[in-house]
Structure 1
Amino acid sequence: MSLSVPRIALKSAKPTITFVRNSGGGHFKFSSYRHDLVTGVRAPAESAKLFKKISAFAVLPILFTLYLGYQDEENVHHAMPKWKENHREYPFRYIRRREFPWGDGNHTLIFRPNQFIPGEGFPEGHDDHH
């Protein structure tokens, strides 16, 4: 006498996968599709509140940071003449093995006239401020 196990019992049960969306977006709600199409997704009051929050917590800190950067740049320009007076040429700095392939070979591709030129120093007759 042999024990026979039915084949159905040997097969593993197929797992059923259910997809539960915890955060429902507007495009996943199809029951109110026509209503959203006609009236808009958000009420104007909600959009105004969102805009105020974005302005308060994103735009104002960014503007404040930009202003601080501008002030720091102005301080750097005021300190530049002092740096020029105390600048020393060292033989191990500004070494170029070959010239640049454009212009006179000593200026960079994006060159500002009040910029330090290795080997020549700062150009005379140019104002340090914008």
Structure 2
Amino acid sequence: MYVCIDFDGTIVDHEYPEIGKPVPKAIDWLLRLQDRGALLILWTMRSDSEEASLLSNAVQYLEENGVVLSGINENPGQAEWTSSPKAYADVYVDDSAAGCPLIQPLGFKRPCVNWKKIGPIVDKMLYP
């Protein structure tokens, strides 16, 4: 099962172009989903340029926290059956998604994903 996960506001606070504070429980849930067999795809607007390694920094952050990515802004097996640029996944988690539960931790710039609520929902969707 593939899960596309946004970065800013979903895994870390909105501090773009910096890496914000960790969103509570985000890494815990990503590691749990990963341990249960979910294939995680980082689905973000961050990119690298000559001036900044914004995407690479996000990937490094995840790797340092034990998160193994199956893809970055693309599903690795998708090219076999479609030329669509949209990354295919069974579930998408994004702070901007309609209906995604949000929280506003003290000191955060904007609301972020409430992983205490969305984690169990995603887990149940993937592993009923």
- Ranked by relative contact order (alpha carbons within 8 Å, sequence separation 6 or more), the top structure is 2
Normalized per residue, the structure richer in helix is: 1
TM-score by length of 1: 0.18
Larger Rg: 1
Normalized per residue, the structure richer in strand is: 2
TM-score by length of 2: 0.18
